[in-house]
A and B are shown apart, each in its own frame.
Chain A
Amino acid sequence: MARPTSREQILRRQSFVRLIAFLGVIGFTFLIILQVENMLVSCLLAFVMSYIIGPIVNILERKNVDRVLATTGLFVFLGLGVSVTGYLTFPKVSNSLQSMQSEAPKYIEGVTKLIETIEGKLKPLQSTGIKFSLSDKIKEQLLPATEHFFSNLPGVLKKLFTVLLLAPFFAFFMIKDGRHFSRNLLALVPNNLFELTYNIYHQINDQMGQFIRARLMEAGIVGLVTWLGLLIIKFPFSGPLSVIAAITNLIPYIGPVIGIIPALLLAMINGLSPFDMSMLLLVYFVAQLIDAAFIIPVVVAKIVDLHPVTVIVVIIIGAQAMGVVGMLISIPVASAMKVTIGTIFRYLTDYRV
């Protein structure tokens, strides 16, 4: 075995080994998160929770409350709050689901009729030769899909239950011992890369925290405005529709369009008058107007500076790679990559003596 000949060689070899160990730990963690069932969603939710609850724990700590006590107290308080809310709303949710299940065939029939009407109107324009019935196809696909959804519901709920148990558990330790974990991980970084890595870590951490808090606030406001608007115009399912609008709003540009689709379908099936339809569109438009005119410029735009074309491309890549979860995490991941690449590039090129 060749022995290292100089001090520089020994230092370089040690740095290399430490770098491999550091990247190995990160890679292994990512592998576990991606491979173990429910782990990715649980970890993402835990991150979101820690970014929301963390600052509250810091405020309590500032008031001389012990960090462990503050974290435990907050989780117990939130846990009780969620349990009581769940207990009180469960019968309502259950009834809602049962009514949705019983009314699903009616809505499918409505969609089919709607498409049949459109088909009838399009018939004179159709060229001869190709005979294709869109309504029959939809009926064939939609009924089994709906039955499949309701038969799979217990499985989905079980998965949701696992995530809802794991995420707070992870979030608790992220807040309580997060600094300890990150310090131990950073201890593996070679000395020559330590300051650079620490700088990148903090920039990403700060940006993620601000981004998640801003996006959740934005989604909450959009959901609230939509809910109030739908209540005012007395539109059915205002609660679930506003939740859908809030969640889909987390996906930039495409999200609001996806969010309005269920409401439009319901409106078409129920045969809403043009006035009611325009009122429905107005509700969603006002929610988006408030979002675009006040929330995005004041809160979100300052945090993540990505070009609209980049945003769309990143969302498409996210959707193709990981579906809905990919669409939701694509922007924070892209901005983290931008921070990392930008800082490394500046470190390597903008070197002044």
Chain B
Amino acid sequence: MNFVWENIFKKDSDSKDLMHILSENYLFETLSKSELKFVKEMVHVRNYRPGEVVFRQGEIGVGMYLIASGSVDILVEGIPAEKLEKQTVFVTRLGAGDFFGELSLVEENGRRTATAVSSIETKLIGFFKPDLLEIVERNPSTGVKIVTRLSEVLGKRLKETTVKVTELKRELRIQTEKV
């Protein structure tokens, strides 16, 4: 009999899971229960097989993804100066609770700067620019809360990038002086 009960409550439990995942994410953690319920109606749950591409570097990005379960590899394709062939560089592996692609939420026809590939069976929650705009239009206070958090995330990422660029410049200068 157990499987019958599981089937009956599956949708509800899925829905609760989704609410729980959203509530634990940095972008949505300031939202109230009713606001989370509203956001839940906006997002898109997508399932990916191992090795399936979520998006490719260079494609126009529409929004961000939040990892509900599984993991996603972030890869960057580049052409090294000494070689003509494209080289794929593994950047990082993201796990449950992480999110990626958030820059597309604020860019106008921005391109993806990396390729995202699921490494195992992965469930992603897609949150896209039209969804954010609809939230802002229909429920501005919720929209402002999300946009504020999004700005914080983007600001943090920018700071980290600036620190890394500064470090690399310093290293490059040291290397040049040595030569």
Contacts and interface: CB of A to CB of B under 8 A. Distances in A.
Interface in B59-92: 59-63, 77, 86
Interface residues of A, number: 26
A105 to B, nearest CB: 56
Given A194-B126, A195-B61, A199-B60, A58 B138 contact: yes
Given A179-B41, A195-B61, A352-B58, A61 B138 contact: yes
A36 interface: no
Given A194-B126, A346-B60, A58 B46 contact: no
A191 B46 contact: yes
B139 A62 contact: yes
Contacts of A351: 58-59
Interface stretch (B22-30, B47-55, B149-157): B47-55
A260 interface: no
A347 B54 contact: no
Interface residues of B, number: 31
A200 to B, nearest CB: 10
A11 B49 contact: yes
A191 B44 contact: no
A186 interface: yes
A198 B41 contact: no
A202 interface: yes
Residue among A61, A179, A187, A199 with the highest chain B CB neighbour number at 10 A: A199
B51 A199 contact: no
A198 B138 contact: no
A325 interface: no
A10 interface: yes
B51 A11 contact: yes
B108 to A, nearest CB: 12
B125 to A, nearest CB: 12
A11 to B, nearest CB: 6
Residue among B44, B48, B57, B60 with the highest chain A CB neighbour number at 10 A: B60
A67 to B, nearest CB: 8
A168 B136 CA distance: 27
A7 B62 contact: no
Interface string A330-351: 0000000000000000110001
Given A58-B138, A62-B139, A198-B130, A191 B57 contact: no
B26 to A, nearest CB: 23
A151 B134 CA distance: 49
B58 to A, nearest CB: 4
A198 B128 contact: yes
Interface string B126-159: 1010100010011110000000000000000000
Contacts of B44: 183, 186-187, 194, 198
Contacts of A126: none
B111 interface: yes
A22 to B, nearest CB: 14
A198 B42 CA distance: 13
Contacts of A202: 130
A14 interface: yes
A192 interface: yes
Contacts of B128: 195, 198
A195 B140 contact: no
A7 B49 contact: yes
Contact of B60 (A67, A186, A187, A347): A347
B59 A195 contact: yes
A353 interface: yes
A346 B60 CA distance: 9
Contacts of A191: 46, 48, 52-54
A58 B55 contact: no
Contacts of B59: 195, 347, 351
Residue among B42, B62, B134 with the highest chain A CB neighbour number at 10 A: B62
A194 B63 CA distance: 11
Given A183-B44, A191-B54, A353-B58, 16 more contacts: A7-B49, A11-B51, A62-B139, A67-B138, A179-B42, A191-B46, A191-B53, A192-B52, A195-B59, A195-B60, A195-B61, A195-B62, A198-B62, A351-B58, A352-B111, A353-B57
19 contacts: A7-B49, A7-B50, A10-B49, A14-B49, A58-B138, A62-B139, A67-B138, A187-B45, A191-B48, A191-B54, A192-B53, A194-B44, A194-B46, A194-B126, A195-B61, A195-B128, A198-B44, A198-B130, A352-B58
